[in-house]
Amino acid sequence: MAKLNFGGTEENVVTREEFPLSKAQDVLKNETVAVIGYGVQGPGQALNQKDNGINVIVGQRKNSKTWDKAIADGFVPGETLFEIEEALEKGTIICYLLSDAAQIELWPTVKKHLTPGKALYFSHGFGITFNEQTGIVPPADVDVFLVAPKGSGTSLRRMFLQGRGLNSSFAIFQDATGKAWERVIALGIAVGSGYLFETDFKKEVFSDLTGERGTLMGCIQGIFAAQYDVLRSNGHTPSEAFNETVEELTQSLMPLVAENGMDWMYANCSTTAQRGALDWWKKFRDATKPVFEELYNSVATGKESQRSIDSNSQPDYREKLNAELAELRDSELWQAGKTVRSLRPENQAVEA
């Protein structure tokens, strides 16, 4: 494993150079990787493994939309697509990719099929870390590890098809066979990770829950809404407010940050903008830091996981979720966004 310097701290990472696909294929050549669940991560990970020449099968409930999606994606019933129990029986590595709440319900069935030497793979530290809430306690004679792609399963697949790779963290919770390390790294490469950085189950779930509730999803929508509202209440049009809040960020400035960091993006804006941004960023940091402290505490005390379990296990979960998503979709901000997106030249019909 290479040790790299991350801003002054040395950390372990595994690159594709160190662990090429050919090595992953060799490690996994006698394994049957059973991907259980075909929601968001399931398709990304299963398809990337299939395209990478790994012996992968999918376990999914028959007569479900995602069963049909798996067929449309090229998995063949009776050959590479099975009912969940059949896939659990055939798999030597079980990739447990149901939603975190659904993993609780299916756990007794999964456990039954975890015979000695098999491996249980997660993409999140949730089930194991919060085992008092989930009841997920694996037998001692199986390997237990995770590869957690740091992004949506949709991006994992898209980036793979573009010849790129999303980065993932990996962790080993239990090494029963003595081969957990090569198995987990091989899987990490096979699912399309660009590189893998080391963590443990608890750190993965604490950081992941914080990130998605924070800057990645929750906080960003919150600050978009706040700035948009201020602009609108001061008489700015929806198009101006949206462009100055969201469109410029996603289309122009964040790609520059992704390429070369925040200072470089600042350096490529006007001296006027630089002055203002440098004056204001610490004020925003100080205003939001207490909220992030509250959030981390809510994660670390198990409040967030319990809330996810309680709400995501309800039978009308999908309907309630759709209503909450509709509230966002129908808001003026995102309706303005829809029009703005339609105006991007690449989204306009080509003129004859």
Ligand X SMILES: NC(=O)c1ccc[n+]([C@@H]2O[C@H](COP(=O)([O-])OP(=O)(O)OC[C@H]3O[C@@H](n4cnc5c(N)ncnc54)[C@H](O)[C@@H]3O)[C@@H](O)[C@H]2O)c1
Ligand Y SMILES: CC(C)(O)[C@@H](O)C(=O)O
Residue in this structure with the two tokens 């200072």, named with its chain if needed: 263
Residue 39's binding partner out of ligand Y, Mg ion, ligand X, none, with CB under 5 to 8 Å set by partner kind: ligand X
Would the annotation count 239 as a binding residue?
no
**Contact window for ligand X (CB under 6 A) among 6-14, 25-33, 102-110, 158-166:** 102-110
Helix, strand, coil percent content, the chain, rounded in steps of 5? 55, 15, 30
Using the rule CB under 5 A, which residue among 80, 208, 241, 337 binds Mg ion?
208
Residues in 150-209 that interact with ligand X by CB under 6 A: 152-153
Alpha-carbon separation of residue 103 from 106, 162, 205, 209 (angstroms): 5, 31, 15, 17
Beta carbon nearer to Mg ion, 277 or 300: 300
Would the annotation count 244 as a binding residue?
yes
Would the annotation count 26 as a binding residue?
no
Q: Is 305 in the site for ligand X (CB under 6 A)?
A: no
Would the annotation count 316 as a binding residue?
no
Please say if 124 is a catalytic residue. yes
* Contacts with ligand Y, residue ranges (CB under 6 A): 151-152, 208, 212, 216
Distance CA(37)–CA(224), nearest Å, equals 33
As measured in angstroms, the least distance from the Cβ of 165 to ligand X is: 15
Residue 216's binding partner out of ligand X, Mg ion, ligand Y, none, with CB under 5 to 8 Å set by partner kind: ligand Y
Distance CA(81)–CA(184), nearest Å, equals 23
Residues in 112-151 that interact with ligand X by CB under 6 A: 123-124, 126, 148-149
Q: In this structure, are residues 299 and 130 in contact, taking their beta carbons and an 8 Å threshold?
A: no
As measured in angstroms, the least distance from the Cβ of 126 to ligand X is: 6
Distance CA(36)–CA(105), nearest Å, equals 13
Residue 77 φ/ψ, nearest 5 degrees: -55, 135
Would the annotation count 304 as a binding residue?
no
- List helix spans (H) across 83-125: 84-90, 100-112
Q: Is the dihedral of CA 257, 203, 108, 133 positive or negative?
A: negative
As measured in angstroms, the least distance from the Cβ of 339 to ligand Y is: 27
**Contact window for ligand X (CB under 6 A) among 4-12, 59-67, 110-118, 181-189:** 59-67
Active-site option among 50, 113, 118, 124: 124
As measured in angstroms, the least distance from the Cβ of 163 to ligand Y is: 21
Beta carbon nearer to ligand X, 124 or 213: 124
**Interface residues toward ligand X, by CB under 6 A:** 37-42, 61, 64, 66, 97-100, 102, 105-106, 123-124, 126, 148-149, 152-153
**Interface residues toward Mg ion, by CB under 5 A:** 208, 212
Catalytic positions, written as ranges: 124
Q: From the annotation, which residues make up the binding site for substrate?
A: 270
